[in-house]
Structure 1
Amino acid sequence: MADRCPSFAGPESRTRTLAAPPSLTPLLARGAALSPFKRPRPDAPVPATRLVLSGVRVDLAHLAAYERVCGFATGADVLPVTYPHVLAFPLAMRIMAARAFPLPLLGLVHTSIEITQHQGPAATAEYELAVRAEGLAPHRRGTEATVLTEARSDGRLVWESRSTYLARHGSPGHAPRNVSRNTSRSVPPGTPPQAPRNSSPEEPQPLPAVAEWHLAQDVGRRYGAVSGDRNPIHLHPLTARLFGFPRAIAHGMWTIARCLAEYGPQQAVGVRAEFRAPVLLPGTVTYAVRGPSFELRAGERVHLSGDVRPIHPRSE
């Protein structure tokens, strides 16, 4: 039965159906070539195009390689909760590498993601993917874009996400981003009520540490090989320095995938994560968890914080 909820396509969106997945190499080259000519600002228009790709099937060998890099158990019938992001990444890249996209692709930093998985996506199913850019917002370090992604199987919405990406630049005259912006967002059906963050007058206690990970220098290159995200900030210290980082940094999506692999299997869940500080490579980080909340930190510096909460599966 087709999903009864409306698509995220807005009234002004133009849907474009692709015949095949975009090739990442020319998109990366195009985005790199256009980046020096872009002057990001929060009030710039974003492309209204919604890209759709049907008939997508999972390459099981690629899935196994992704699972190994991120620490998931291999061979499960259900995709890791972060894997649909990788499936749809070429569509997102096509939007963000376009001339009309106002932020430079080079140096773009993933700052947050919210995932709603309505049911565990089967590894052997066929999917329709859809991606569009929602808009821009000022950030204390530059301009942030929001990208929405959907995955459908047999007409049913099984997975959706909202990601934010930051172009770092000077932004005089713009107030810092409101860190509580999520309070006004639409809540996916079935999401249980949540208490406001920092509602207690007491200082929140650090989450208890459960694991320590020593990250090799090549984590960014290995994840880039399985995800297609070969942003130079992740690949080598020299290329990372061009964008203001002392060393290469881990992909935000690798850090959350690694945390969720440690957290355990998820079916119908809502996942939220904020990438609060870059994870420099090589490095040592601590994974900590209490109940639905988890974080990745080094000493007192928190690199990633998030939570995993069960939701009611979408009705047929």
Structure 2
Amino acid sequence: MTSAVTSTPPSVSSADALKAALRQLDGVILGKPGQIRLAVACLLARGHLLIEDQPGVGKTTLAGALARTFGLDFRRVQFTADLLPADLTGISVWDAPNSTFRFHQGPVFSEVLLADEINRATPRTQGALLEAMEERQVSEGGVTRILPDPFFVIATQNPAAFVGTSPLPEAQLDRFLMTITLGYPDPRAERTLLETGGRSLSVRDLGAVLDAPALLHMQREVDAVHAAAPLLDYLQLLARATREHPALLTGLSPRALLALLSAARAWAYLVGRPMALPEDVQAVFPSLAAHRLPPRDPGVSVPDLIAGILAGTPIP
């Protein structure tokens, strides 16, 4: 690409702080540098993150470590079948001495909300997150209340085959910028866990490397990462490839394409570049597309389809 670049790379202070944050996260979630960087890119892009995997592989630990490392207010909600929407968003209670209703904020009014095992809740409660995730506000009793900025939802999800799970609807899935899977640790990381008795997984003693104002500054710098016309051409070619693929029910929507651009900018920023390149798109594309591309045949491997789309789409 030969287009002029008018933006600037991450400032020295931002770059140093990001490196320190990544080092700390790498020390907590062992052997998962790729997933950690995708999660941080999702945060930098103002997205929301869905972590899909079986229990016990570090989903909740990653969520807590991200919040503590970035110095953000953190709340955790365990999603269960009896969780009500008001338990999440809050409720107005009659204040008799003042003859008025007083709103009691729910846990959604936090900078980082961990929706743990989100697919164990009913569809009604899952839907209560829709407005919050998309509009970053909550409407209750005819009053609209703005959520904190930054606002980052991290949801964990157990495999659909597990007992007591309700699949997330497509509209809910589309609100997540990325989906990642942690998987089992590699033998070296697992051995370290055994030798330390799992103490390396504790997030209680983690210090804040950044804070909310620093994160907001980084997010504005991400917005300034340059995207040249050929890169936009590449995004459109990828979108067309998904929409015309015979094995997929639907392709990427325009909203998903905007999300892909934001994610690619965040990845370029994370590696210290002032300009998003096709390799940045390729780095985030699988995590962005996996939950947005339903196959016609449930037995088909979506990762394989995505890999084929990337391999078969020419770079302008």
State the TM-score bracket (shorter-chain normalisation): under 0.3
Greater relative contact order (CA < 8 Å, ≥ 6 in sequence):
2
**TM norm structure 2:** 0.23
More helix by share: 2
Considering only CA atoms, is the larger Rg found in Structure 1 or Structure 2?
2
